[in-house]
Structure 1
Amino acid sequence: MQIFCPQCVSPLTIEPSQAGKEVTCSYCQHRFISPMTMTIAPTSPPPAPPTIAPPVDQLPPNPPTPPVSVGSPVAPALAPTAPTPLPESTAKAAPTTGTPAGLLPNGYVRIRTLRFPAAWVEWFPLACLVVVFALTFAKWYGSYPAGYSAYSQSAWQMVLGRFSFDPDSEKELKLNAEIKEVIRMSGFMIPYLLLLLASIAVAIALIVIPRITQTIPAPIAAIWPYRTILFTVTCGLSLLFLIIQLLNGLGLENAYGTLISKQRDAILADYIKNDNKGVEILSANDEQRIDIRLNQKLVTTTIGHTRWLNFAVGFHMFALFGVGLQLFQRRRQNRPLPAVGILT
């Protein structure tokens, strides 16, 4: 028979002979009394009600006929009237769709139910984190003039303060040496990647350990009741460190910011000396010309975060949403998850 541990709410399978006896949870080692099985005795059908003969209507005796006086007119007997037929109903029967017609809004004839299997909820956080780990090897920031990759950086390159460049783009832009001088490592990416790996390890343990053993090892049994909290903390902290790093700027992003500042100062000094006759007061048209020259030099309009970074942040949030579904499912115990109904 299937029961649930009152301490950690883990499913347990016991023999019917152990019902009502003390058992030990194989997950958290908690001892408790298992519930008794209930046997419902079959009930005999109720006796048939006694047959009652229908009553016989007795007609009252005819009243005596009053005497008819001479000369008084006799009222003619009324002809019996035919019964008025009831009007036929013009309403059509509602189609049978498996759902009472009164429960559906007007205009709908059926409802289709979309159910989420419990196995999907169990594997969903791990699948999301595996996708995030694969995305850490993609480029999260870079420069793409005319749609071609020039200089880019992945999550692991941010930890080491390195970047990638395209040889053909380097021949035109010639910024490789200048970027190497100013690029720095992204410090918050170190705890982010470590916590990401820890989250994946915890997610794997939550799925594998109950499948390979019925008894939780002693070193793990102490923290096993808090396994979901541990996974939530590691996954949430990794996302927090990533957000902090994005707010402080990525390695290549900050390097480009330094280059843009230096190049703008150089272009501004050259413009004041040669184009503005030494006058340092600039108009709006002068600022526009300086920005255009800066963009021609560094191609600043093609610098930014890539879609792979957006996907990584999104799947991080999906993983946390999956943990919430797991907690919701445990609170419901053996009841299925709520279904989604689609009216057609």
Structure 2
Amino acid sequence: MISFAVGAPDPALLPGELVAALAADVVAEHGMSVLQYGATRGFPPLLDQAQILLRERAITGAAGRTHIATGGSGALHSACMALLEPGSVVLAETPTYGPAVKVFRSHGAVVYGVESDADGILPEALAATLARQRVAMVYLLPTFQNPTGRTMPTARREQIAEVVLRHGVTVVEDDVYADLRYQGDPLPAFWSFAPHSTVYITSLSKTVAPALRTGIAVLPEYLLEQVLAMKQGIDMQTSTFNQAIAAGFLRSAAGAAHVARVVENYGAKLAALTAALRRHMPSGFSWTEPEGGMFVWVEGPAAVRWRPTSPVKDSMPVRIRCHG
């Protein structure tokens, strides 16, 4: 059985030999300091490498507001601790990433879905919801969205930025799939349109290895000190050793070659999947054909039985499985 339930990297593409070599290199370069406690904000060489990665996504001037988290999920938890309390309202596009909804609810938040189309969350629907009630956070996956695979065009990003800036609400941009682009041109991160109101989160889990638990977050100034204080109380810091390996990966030619290999392989998998859908799907079904990421969203006729899981309150199901 091939499971489509989780967006995890292909085990055959995990860079075991490269990570092992980098582990030896970082001990030789930094000595025992990489096995010691480190700064809560992050390992300085990785913070430097992160700026190069961020600039490729139109995120500039963010060095002082960047920190290294324990995976993208760790960054999300930290943002939630700073922004949410029991009864807080979180808005998310429909459908959205189910585990994130569980995170929001674990902090006592109420999660509402906002109507979306093929380009992402609708500006007028978001504005209407923000006008009706106080909202603590808007959660977005603008690039290769989980689970639909859709990407929010630049014009829509500008429109959503105008709405959130007008209403003074914080956006959390989950951008962990950005490097998995198989065709088309990269788009600037949503952050670039609302840099002082956006928590930007990305991760090396999809391109290097999930077990490194290395996430990168850029925080608004009003959240940075609070998030770092909370992180220090939770886990003190993300593993210095893992951060040193990640820094070595990002600055190495071998690391860049590995990412290119991953993109080539996943691009071929996506092409094979969409070709199979065109060949085998019965009439009445439609699906997204994304330019990157890990997800294709299939919709079928109403006559087909659906089983929703992890629903967002007052929204479409987060994930849909088809039986037929």
Which protein has the larger Cα radius of gyration, Structure 1 or Structure 2? Answer: 1
The TM-score by the shorter chain falls in which range?
A: under 0.3
Q: TM-score, normalised by structure 1?
A: 0.20
Q: TM-score, normalised by structure 2?
A: 0.21
Q: Which has the higher strand share?
A: 2
Q: Which has the higher helix share?
A: 1
